[in-house]
């Protein structure tokens, strides 16, 4: 059994995607999702508090779910980006489907 039910956050994906620019990065999407749904985001982090990297664990789950939004967005490739802590990193870049 999963430690946390992400469905409340996942339910907001279509709305958040419409708010994003035509091309965006996973990190940008996660930040917007967290800003707009702070309680649900914090609850997800809290569920993974026992591990050393709750942010990484939760963000991996949130990023993976973007792959299931293929009627709204398409993966473009990998892009340089900063994570939520402003560390240099890379993540998927997405393009909205017109």
**CA-CA distances (angstroms) from residue 87 to 27, 33, 78, 83, 84?**
11, 19, 16, 5, 7
* pTM assigned to the model: 0.94
Does residue 73 have a pLDDT over 70? yes
Does residue 1 have a pLDDT over 80? no
Arithmetic mean of pLDDT, 67-85: 95
Does residue 2 have a pLDDT over 90? no
Edge-first strand listing for the sheet containing 73-82: 23-25, 88-96, 73-82
Q: Does domain 7-96 have CATH number 1.10.10?
A: yes
Q: What is the pLDDT of residues 13-56, one digit of tens each?
A: 999 999 999 999 999 999 999 999 999 999 999 999 998 999 99
Q: What is the mean pLDDT of the chain?
A: 95
- Domain layout of the chain by residue ranges: 7-96
Residue 48 · residue 3 · CB < 8 Å: yes
């Amino acid at each position: 059994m999963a430690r946390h039910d992400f469905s409340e956050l996942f339910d907001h994906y279509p709305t958040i995607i419409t708010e994003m620019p035509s091309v965006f990065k996973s990190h940008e999407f996660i930040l917007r999702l967290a800003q707009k749904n702070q309680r649900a985001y914090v609850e997800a982090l809290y569920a993974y508090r026992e591990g050393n990297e709750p942010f990484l664990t939760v963000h991996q789950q949130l990023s993976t779910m973007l792959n299931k939004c293929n009627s709204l967005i398409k993966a473009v490739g990998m892009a340089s980006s900063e994570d939520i802590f402003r560390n240099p990193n890379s993540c998927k870049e997405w393009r909205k489907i017109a």
